[in-house]
Structure 1
Amino acid sequence: MGNRRTHLKRSLICILGTAAIFLIYLSFRGSWSNWRPGSLSAYHVAYPRNYQFIMDDTPTCRTRSPFLVMMVPVAPSDVAARDAIRNTWGSETVVQGEVVGTLFLVGRPGGADAGLQQEKLIQENDRHHDLIQSDFQDSYRNLTIKTMVMLEWLAAHCTNASYVLKIDSDMLVHVPNLVKLLLDPGTARQNYITGLVWWHSPVLRNPLNKFYLPTDIIAEPEYPPYPLGMGYVMSLDLPGKILQVSTQIKPIFIEDAYLGMCLKLLGISPTDPPESTMFIVDPVHPLSTCSLSKVIAVTTTSIPQMKGYWETSRGPDAKC
């Protein structure tokens, strides 16, 4: 009797296990169906090229022409990140005799409190005059639009500057190291773009991956080389050139890969930085003073960490 009960118990477990596996299969099959929409527009972004700047009273590139402009695309609500940058590397305005400026790029806030967020942005800009706001909807899926709007602003206002750094808000920037690189006689003054360059980056074909793109969108198995979007620097002749050729390429939602597609059409290839230690996307924390003395841009995990690294990098012991 005991053996029979054990056998029945095992049979029931097998049946339930099989049913669970079948349900998981159906669930994934449903997910695959969802990732293959009837319209390929899910992988493109609508970029009508007629966005307007609704907040744009910064003196940067108007009453003064910096050698380097640092542009930080950031969420409208993320005032803590902006203040952290203003109090650390964004406070550096003259480096090795060169004028440097930091600006923050935002779109329209969303959500139920959008009106309140907008009012706070206006008050913030009244204090700092360092916000550039366009009337596109600010969201993760609109990062390509945000990048193109940034290039529009630079092409319209900053042609007398030399370089621009596009940098994410969670990054530490070692501004003196960056200026040193850009002043080096070996650094090109035109058609120059560098950062953590991804060469032979595969187009992801797994429909469950958030960066999935079908062959109908990109037939090639690899993207053209592009600098990772966490942070890259370019000469200021490039924004206008990229905008010009971008009319021939329908934008995809992966902003840095799209930038690489535009560069390919221009016949321009990114340049690897002189040292692999200069742009780090996935560091092993904590960083040593030696590492901080070599870096240009590195991902941080929190505002206190970014502040601590910045203070350390400025100290007399920040060397190898």
Structure 2
Amino acid sequence: MEDWRRHVKHISILIFGAVVIFLFYHNSKRKSEAWEPAPEPDNYHVPYPGNYKFIMDETQTCQKTTPFLVLMVQIAPFDVAARDAIRRMWGSEKLVLGQLVETLFILGLPGGADAEQQQKKLEQENQQHHDLIQSDFQDSYGNLTIKTMTMLEWLSAYCVKASFAMKIDSDMFLHVPNLVKLLLDSNSSKALNYMTGLVWWHSPVLRDQSNKFYMPKTVFAEPEYPPYPLGMAYVMSLDLPRKILEVSSHIKPIFIEDVYLGMCLKRLGISPTDPPAKTMFLVDPVHPLSTCYLSKVIAMTTTSIPQMKSYWERSRQPDAKC
């Protein structure tokens, strides 16, 4: 009986020891996991460069013409209303201050359940207007960097004889005469390595994970981004697309397209140029603008197509000045 008790006691001690060791290990592991930072998901980069191809680019722009300025409007495939409005408004201005200006729309593939139907409508639209440049990437907010880089590819391939190109969003009012006047200025008309717009200097990298522009240190370690023109509208001399594409192969693209452009410019040793006046590029204007203020604008965001139309019509009036 005594031997049996000692045997049971021995087994109990072994079991207790095993439980203590298990609990200690499990608790230590939990503490270790609590202190280790969670790995960052790699959704801050985009899949470019890639083997993207142009599936629609039957325009005569830059192929049978040599424009002074090419306006490249980045737009969603489904947004026919904005394209038609721009065609009727500032996109209709072809000869400005003696210079040829042409407008094109750049887009990717439509998505959703009706993507095939949307694509057929785009092909019909292009048969009528011949002003769509479409590449075979999926058109989405997360692919704006791809959209910009394919725009640069097209400009580099077809528009080297043109002088300038502007990337502009489809919700912008554009005062084309003011833009052409700026580019005819002696300081920029024959410029190389020239890019201007609303330039953001010393822009802080956002580390708040709740912000849609959050950027982890594992992707971009510096506290500030290099200077870059805000993506709503910027203009460049047409020696730049090729140069940017060349250095882009050494810089992993991020999803913030205008920041990535600034990263490429920094690699080139090129800095964007501030416009002569702050009134020329407006990201969040207080509407409605006075006629005097409107006469100084080059590009600004609008809240609707009717508002864009109102500003365009006012800007063309003989008394549209201070």
- Verify the 8 A CA contact 2:40 2:216 in the aligned structure 1: no
Q: Partners of 1:244 and 1:155 in 2: how far apart?
A: 11
- Verify the 8 A CA contact 2:49 2:249 in the aligned structure 1: no
**Does structure 1 residue 42 correspond to structure 2 residue 43?**
yes
Structure 1 runs of 4+ aligned residues shifted over 6 Å read none
Q: Partners of 1:63 and 1:96 in 2: how far apart?
A: 21
**2:192 matched to which residue of 1?**
190
- Verify the 8 A CA contact 1:173 1:298 in the aligned structure 2: yes
**1:167 matched to which residue of 2?**
168
Q: Partners of 2:117 and 2:162 in 1: how far apart?
A: 35
- Aligned partner of residue 71 in structure 1, secondary structure: strand
Q: Partners of 2:50 and 2:96 in 1: how far apart?
A: 35
Percent of residue pairs bearing the same amino acid type? 73
- Aligned partner of residue 244 in structure 1, secondary structure: helix
Choose 1 or 2 for highest CA Rg. Answer: 2
Q: 1:53 Cα shift?
A: 0.4
One-letter identity of the residue aligned with 1:205: R
- Aligned partner of residue 58 in structure 1, secondary structure: coil
CA RMSD of the aligned region, Å? 1.2
Q: Partners of 1:155 and 1:316 in 2: how far apart?
A: 38
Q: 1:50 Cα shift?
A: 1.3
TM-score (ref. length: structure 1): 0.88
Please point out which of 217, 237, 257 is paired with 2:219.
217
**1:4 matched to which residue of 2?**
none
> After superposition, what is the alpha-carbon deviation per residue over 1:219-273, rounded to whole angstroms, capped at 9, x for unaligned?
1000000000000000000000000000010000000000000000000000000
Q: Partners of 1:39 and 1:292 in 2: how far apart?
A: 45
Alignment of 1:70-219 (within 5 A): 70-187=71-188, 189-219=191-221
Q: 1:317 Cα shift?
A: 1.6
**2:246 matched to which residue of 1?**
244
**2:31 matched to which residue of 1?**
none
Please point out which of 267, 270, 273 is paired with 2:272.
270
Q: 1:39 Cα shift?
A: 5.0
One-letter identity of the residue aligned with 1:280: L
More off after superposition, 45-54 vs 125-134? 45-54
Aligned length: 286
Q: Partners of 2:268 and 2:41 in 1: how far apart?
A: 26
Q: 1:48 Cα shift?
A: 3.5
Q: Partners of 1:48 and 1:105 in 2: how far apart?
A: 17
Q: 1:40 Cα shift?
A: 4.1
Q: 1:37 Cα shift?
A: 7.1
- Aligned partner of residue 294 in structure 1, secondary structure: coil
Q: Partners of 2:41 and 2:66 in 1: how far apart?
A: 42
The gaps in structure 2 that reach 5 residues or longer are 1-36
Q: Partners of 2:265 and 2:277 in 1: how far apart?
A: 22
Q: Partners of 2:119 and 2:39 in 1: how far apart?
A: 36
Q: Partners of 2:50 and 2:177 in 1: how far apart?
A: 35
One-letter identity of the residue aligned with 2:157: A
Q: 1:291 Cα shift?
A: 1.1
- Aligned partner of residue 222 in structure 1, secondary structure: coil
Q: Partners of 1:38 and 1:311 in 2: how far apart?
A: 53
Q: Partners of 1:108 and 1:123 in 2: how far apart?
A: 15
**2:281 matched to which residue of 1?**
279
- Verify the 8 A CA contact 2:62 2:159 in the aligned structure 1: yes
- Verify the 8 A CA contact 1:40 1:217 in the aligned structure 2: no
Q: Partners of 1:257 and 1:179 in 2: how far apart?
A: 26
- Verify the 8 A CA contact 2:74 2:105 in the aligned structure 1: yes
